[in-house]
Amino acid sequence: MKEVNKSIPKKEGMGLSFGKPAYADDLAPQNTLVVKILRSPYAFARIKNIDTEQAEKLAGVKCVLTHKNVPRNIVTRAGQGYPEPSPHDKFVLDEYVRYIGDEIAAIAAEDEASAEAALELIKVEYEVGACTGF
């Protein structure tokens, strides 16, 4: 009981205070690619067509993923436990988007500016569906 009712300073507290490398961004190697996500502007829509040709051609762009070229695996957005008890109810990328901000495409590029520029070059045709308000 000798530790009860006593403050114990956090072991990594001083390192964190003075900004020693601790977070993913601190530890990322210099040549790490930057990933940016293209997101849906609609609450509900089907992607009729998605054209990534121009984005892929842009210098610095290494990879463009859409629902057409990722495996159709279901995933969960939770992830606290193992085995994971939360519902696996989401495809990595899907032909349908179900909220404003839902993922449409992922781009990996050598730097942030190229990734951002490539996002602009993806052409998406949507079939916008009716959205029920609650």
Partner 1 sequence: MRIILTINNINKEVEIMPGDVLYDVIKKSGVSSVKKSCGTASCGVCTVLLDGKPIPSCSYLAAKADGHNITTIEGIQAEADMVGGMMNEEGAIQCGFCTPGFLLTVIAMKRELENPTEEEMKNYLVGNLCRCSGYEGQLRAVKRYLEVSR
Residues that bind partner 1 (CB under 8 A): 7, 9-10, 12-23, 25-26
- Of 6 and 83, nearer to partner 1 (C-beta) is 6
CB of 55 to partner 1, least distance (A): 22
CB of 110 to partner 1, least distance (A): 15
Cβ count near 7 (within 10 Å): 6
Q: How far is CA 54 from CA 61, 84, 107, in A?
A: 10, 39, 12
- Of 15 and 101, nearer to partner 1 (C-beta) is 15
Distance (Å, rounded) from C-alpha 121 to C-alpha 107? 11
**Which ranges of 40-111 would DSSP assign to H, the alpha helix?**
53-57
CB of 30 to partner 1, least distance (A): 10
